[in-house]
Structure 1
Amino acid sequence: MTEPDNRQSPPPAQQSLEWHAGDMPYSVEFGDHFYCRTDGRLECGHVFLSGNRLPARWSTGGTFTIGELGFGTGLNFCETWRQWKQAKISTGELHFVSFERFPMRAGEIDRALSHWPEIEAARQALVAHWPEARAGRIDIDFNDVRLTVICGAALDGLSALREDFDAWYLDGFAPSRNPDMWSQQLMQAVFDKTVQGGTFATYAAAGFVRRNLAAAGFVVERLPGFAGKREMLRGDKP
């Protein structure tokens, strides 16, 4: 595994955290939890993996690139890595690229993910290689998967990237709490950076989110949400 090199990076931006029910982080700035209070790992599988038709699409081989808006605790990355290993993909490579304005400290990630024994190996590897200087571009090669975290505003980071994306996890804080993460401009940038036939999935089902995604060019579909939530959204780039 390669270590990230951020020795020249400025001090990372911070946000205030509270811890609810033991190990569940809550953002004071955004007034929202970082993951579903029922079971964030299972929600990841229901919304992001199933919504993007994963892991079935990994079997075609080559490099599969996932984009994520909102790295948060790293839960989606760890669960995706777990399912990648479980699928035993031998002819492809997974590149997971996430955008995060307020990256957590390693100890905070460790605490937030300690609830799930299923992702213990991924959690330990992520925490062990997570840099103290969490700014700029973090690149970590875990041999079978690559993780890139772009620290800062998502629109700025995405606009500067060369990568195109096969699938998207749209997982910012709730649209009512953080509308900038669901703006028309950002959804258009997501669409423009998506390969033809690429997909997105999100737990969010607010009307303005659906309209912004459709206006960007995605064919948007409503599906039942997780744990009794009425709806989620998924879509394709035609």
Structure 2
Amino acid sequence: MQDQRAELEWREGRVPVSVRFDDPYFSLEDGLAETRHVFLAGNDLPARFVDGFHIAELGFGTGLNFLTAWAAWRDAGVPGRFRFTSFEAFPMDVSEMEKALAAFPEVADLAEQLIAAGGGSAEFDEAALTVIEGDARETLAAWDGKADAWFLDGFSPAKNPELWGADLMAEVARHSAPGGTVATYTAAGFVRRGLEEAGFAVTRVPGFGRKRHMTRGVLG
């Protein structure tokens, strides 16, 4: 339905901002560097990559996190393929996705493949991407997969608390492999408590740019 698509406005002509949540899709400073710091380093990647490694994500957005993980996999020279499953309630139109990703020439070749595939679920030489549309509070519970690493990248907990509740964090834990990890840019207390209650050993570490802290966790 049309009202379930992402509604955007653009800052500086290149940074998409969600009208619904009044929050940018990526850092105004450097979205690619933020993804590497928060989601890759926060999950000890690419060091943990092995054939079949499974990343799951709350909030697909522009697809930048997927592309960053793909670039890291390629650059690490890991044999085989990885899986990436993302849960997205408000998918972005592929033309807007293409405009947003144009800001990141480092992953331009991979972005071109993603756009050519329609900006959603697709099979690539090194990656299998699945984008599950709908409210993650429903779709994650119904999912039968388990992830080795989670990218928790919903809009700000202050503006989109539904994607950070304790019940959803419990589902993240239930759909994590033994020793699975989570990383997120936020250090909000209720998010950390929800992850701890779900069974993650949670630590607060330096955030990216002007964000003092972020959160990472390991399933006990």
The match for 1:103 among 63, 70, 91 is 91
Where 1:57 maps in the other structure, the secondary structure is coil
Superposed, which structure 2 residues align to 1:44-123 within 5 Å? 44-58=35-49, 61-90=50-79, 92-123=80-111
**1:143 paired residue number:** 125
CA distance in 1, matches of 2:77, 2:3: 36
Structure 1 range deviating more: 153-162 or 67-76: 153-162
Report the counterpart of residue 39 of structure 1 in structure 2.
30
Query: How far apart, CA to CA, are the structure 1 residues paired with 2:41 and 2:181?
Result: 11
Q: Which residue of 2 aligns with 1:173?
A: 155
Does residue 1:21 correspond to 2:3, yes or no? no
Q: Distance in 2 between matches of 1:184 and 1:89?
A: 35
The answer to whether the aligner puts 1:226 opposite 2:176 as a matched pair is no
In structure 2, relative to structure 1, the CA distance for the partners of 1:12 and 1:94 (3 Å cut) is farther
Give the unaligned 5+ runs of structure 2.
none
Percent identity of paired positions between Structure 1 and Structure 2? 46
Q: 1:11, CA displacement in angstroms?
A: 6.2
Per the alignment, in what secondary structure is the counterpart of residue 217 of structure 2? strand
Structure 1 residue 155 displacement after superposition? 2.0
Structure 1 alignment gaps of length 5 or more: 1-9, 132-137
Q: Deviations over 1:91-149 (max 9, x none)?
A: x3200000000101111000001011100011111111116xxxxxx531012101000
Confirm or deny that 1:127 pairs with 2:115: yes
When normalised by structure 1's length, the TM-score is 0.89
Query: Does the 8 A contact of 1:198 with 1:237 survive in 2?
Result: yes
Q: What's the offset of the Cα at 1:15?
A: 3.1
Q: Distance in 2 between matches of 1:11 and 1:23?
A: 23
Question: TM-score, with normalisation over the residues of structure 2?
Answer: 0.97
Is the CA contact (8 Å cut-off) linking 2:5 and 2:93 kept in structure 1? no
In structure 2, how many angstroms separate the alpha carbons of the residues matched to 1:72 and 1:15? 9
In the TM superposition, what is the alpha-carbon distance from 1:159 to its structure 2 partner? 1.3
1:156 to 138, 149, 154: 138
CA RMSD of aligned residues (A): 1.3
Q: Secondary structure at the match of 1:38?
A: coil
| Structure-2 residue corresponding to 1:6 | none
| Equivalent position to 1:198, from 164, 172, 180 | 180
Check whether the contact 2:8–2:18 (CA below 8 A) recurs between aligned residues. Answer: yes
**Aligned equivalents of 2:61 and 2:152: distance in 1?**
12
Q: Distance in 1 between matches of 2:56 and 2:205?
A: 21
Amino acid at match of 1:105: D
**Counterpart in the other structure of 1:217:** 199
